[in-house]
Amino acid sequence: MPNHHRTFRCPAKVNLALSVGAPHPDGYHPIASWMITVCLADDLLITPLPTDRQSHFTIDWTPDAPRPSPIDWPLSDDLTVRAHALLEQHVDRALPVDVKLAKRIPVGAGLAGGSSNGAAMLAALDALFDLQLGRDILIDLAMQLGSDLAFFLTTPSAIVTGLGQTTRPAPRSAPAHLALILSDLHCATGAVYRAFDDYQPGATVDPDRVAALVSQDPLPDAQLFNDLAAPACHVEPRLTELRDRCAAIAQRRVHVTGSGAGLFIVARDQPDADSIAAALAGESDVTVVPVIG
């Protein structure tokens, strides 16, 4: 096998809308979400190794990472490593690689950087080793690792339902311009879902409400919603103050993505996203990144 590396992009995702239902008996929550990928992305550099070599993994922030933080989790817990191990187990053979994960997507921001990394690893190994597993098997493997991974194996704009395994393309006639608001605040996903259960026991997921937004152009800013926004602000009360302050300065609605603590503002176009970033540039506790989705 040629000993040269290939780079795979791992885009962040934003939940433009997110409806959540009460948990099933197994504890997992059904969702309906309009998810899009955006141009903020990690890079996964993979070099196939000879069959007698051991795989090697390194993780670091890129120089242009907008909000780096300590990489303080065990390497064995990283979804790139777990995805590699799961695929080796599935095909019952070693898939030796040297992996360098160059991160830009902030941790704990609801942007699913880890899930994107894991999905990219599955797709990359399938391609590099010519496994020809097919989309359905890759999605089945992805769901064993986490609910967001399957989305990254499909389309860049999709309605995601069930436990995250069912996706339907949601194409748009125009790109979505957003201003991502990143901070040092973090929301633990499990804690946010527990707070959701306390807030809305017996909640019913509403896929029709999500689907109704997709055909509208421009993005229906006033109708975007996230059932996890209030629970996230409960788990991290400083998120409420940050969201309100940014909304007052930018004179725009500020939305929570996923389980937080990442925020975003819908812009009309790229110059408008740049002007939002400029308006918030004086806030020392945030970094604003204009993105296209």
The active-site residue out of 13, 103, 126, 227 is 13
**Beta pairing, strands 97-103 & 56-61:** parallel
Residue 148 is among the residues annotated as catalytic for this protein: yes
Active site residue 197: no
- In DSSP terms, 20 is beta-bridged to 31
The single residue listed with the structure tokens 């949601």 is: 170
Task: Please give the single-letter amino acid code of residue 248.
Answer: A
List beta partners, residue 24: none
Q: Of the listed 103, 148, 217, 285, which one is catalytic?
A: 148
Question: What does the DSSP assignment read for the chain?
Answer: -----EEEEEEEEEEEEEEE-PPPTTSPPPEEEEEEEEEEEEEEEEEE--TTSPPEEEEEE-TT-SS-----S-GGGSHHHHHHHHHHHHHTS---EEEEEEE-SPTTSSS-HHHHHHHHHHHHHHHHTT----HHHHHHHHHTT-TTGGGGGS-SEEEEEETTTEEEE---SSPPEEEEEEES----HHHHHHHHHHHSTT----HHHHHHHHT-SS--GGG--BTTHHHHHHHSTHHHHHHHHHHHHHTS--EE-TTSS-EEEEESSHHHHHHHHHHTTT-TTEEEEEEE-
User: Which residues does the annotation mark as catalytic?
Assistant: 13, 148
